[in-house]
Structure 1
Amino acid sequence: MIVMGDPKSCCSNRGEARKPFDLKFPVGFAQIPQRLQNFFKFKNSLKDEREVAPISPKEKELCASSVEAKLEKQLNCWTENPTWVDQPPELKVTVPKDSLCNLHLKLKVGLPPDAIYNIVINPENKRVFKNIKEVISRRVLVDEGPRQLVEVEQAAIWRFLWWSGTISVHVLVDQNREDHTLKFKQLRTGFMEKFEGCWKVEPLFVDEQLCHPFKPKTLDEYNSCTGGKGRVGSILSLEQLVQPAILPPPPLSWYLRGITARTTEMLISDLVAEAARIRGNASAANSSQKSETSENTSNGNTLQAFDVKERWRHRRNARRRNNRELSR
């Protein structure tokens, strides 16, 4: 499954002091709707003690512009050199006690982290991920600029062998562009007792060999040693725990475990295809630009050749006129 956030979330490097996250609840907290209780429990379970001051719309716009400018610069490097060979993901499934499975996945993708992150959190990513049938509801509960808490309910499609069906997924999503993480946790228990996990996107220095013998450790060092020409890819990782309310015995548990793994593989396959489409567009734009440049160069050479011929013709005519004048 994939959970959706907001593509306009952006990083914030403001120098303001961050205060510890301190929630003070009124005496009548027990009367707060169950949904908000789940929300606060989830925030505590994430063990995030930071809170940023509210960000104004103008600051959000400036921050989004900064992210877009950085991403555009990184994509330009892919436009100049879109060569990339996709590798199969590293997928490992373990079976903790009293759980169906714990899924660990790692994959290298030929696009910058912000581009991958935009795909994952986009509310309209149903276009990319075919296992999303529909988004039933989506609500932003907290918007701190770089970090958002979003409540999402969607109908997801599962397929395994010749069987298929849909399942409703209602989760709370904590997405943070500063570290390109997306944590999700189930809000309502039903068929699933636990459904939680975390997506994380880290930078991959594709052209690291340009820095040899120096080995860059940060993006700034990488940009410095490559002169800003090094391509930045992504290392995408996923940790996901699935625990049904009632753990079925084998072979039914094997069957459900296969559905979970297969659904995740579908998500990754769709993500890789979208990344390839974006690189293909970059390659097509680059080819078109080269073709146009080649055509202009060719026209220039033709005009230059035409000018040479004209000069020789004028010289021949001048010699003939001189010869006729001398013969008189």
Structure 2
Amino acid sequence: MTPLFCEDLIISASSPVRALDKLAANGITAYSARRIAPGKLKIRVKCKETAKIFAIFRGSCYTVTKAGPARLAKLRARALRRPGILAGLAAFVVAAYCVNIPVLRIDVTGSARYEEEAYAVLAESGVRTFALCGEEEREAARRALLALPGVVFASVEKAGCVVTAVIEESEETPLPERERELLSPRAGKVEELAVLRGTALVSEGDAVGAGQTLVAGYFLTEEGERRETFAVARASILCTFSAEYFSAERSDAAAADAVAAAHLAAGGELVSSEVSVRAEGDGYIYGAAVTVRLRISVNLD
């Protein structure tokens, strides 16, 4: 809910939207935010927090200037100059609280990524078309929108029969989503396993299949309750690979070439190799069997 007495401020910087992150970190809520020019952001905050905002940005790369009073603060300033409008102001307040017009249209602006999800959040909070919605529903929707990942500002305002939701995302590059499990890339045997977070589903020496989960993204509390998390672990898997190669001659060099070709196809670190040879036609068939070590990890970069 937007307070009755607000102040409009203009923040100037090369990337002014990042100032919203700083305000949120200091517990200050911006009730509206709008880009008015390149490098300029107009925000609306509580009048009593204006001095704190100037103190936060003092000496930083952000320039803050006052744009003037907003909402009832502006009406109050005008009323002091024209006492005759007080009666009209009182009538307006009574009408605003006594009449609640149903919502006929909902607009979402500021974030294409969250547009579809924003409509769902608004509906869950009671802000939907052809329904009455008051300050309580709009405030619940605003808080839910602000909880979306990367969102630094959200407002839900109603003007007549139109509700407008504004969402601003942080300009910081979001961190990539963490992988939740450690999976075996190939079939083989677990040689080594170290788990820093998560639950190991296999042990060293176990045979595993391709794509099998080695470490799951959860842990159990002392009471046996399952808690979801992401795995942090590393492992080494011993895998075998065999193939046949043709050579016109029988020699140690040809055998070494067969092992090298098998190692290249298998990947990983070469642990051991075996070579067999048989005559066939005008040459020889080399059978190369190699064991390689694959080192894998999750969320350890």
Taking structure 1 as the reference length, what is the TM-score of the superposition? 0.18
| Larger strand proportion of the pair | 2
> Which is richer in helix?
1
Task: Name which one, 1 or 2, has greater alpha-carbon Rg.
Answer: 2
Structure 2 length-normalised TM = 0.19
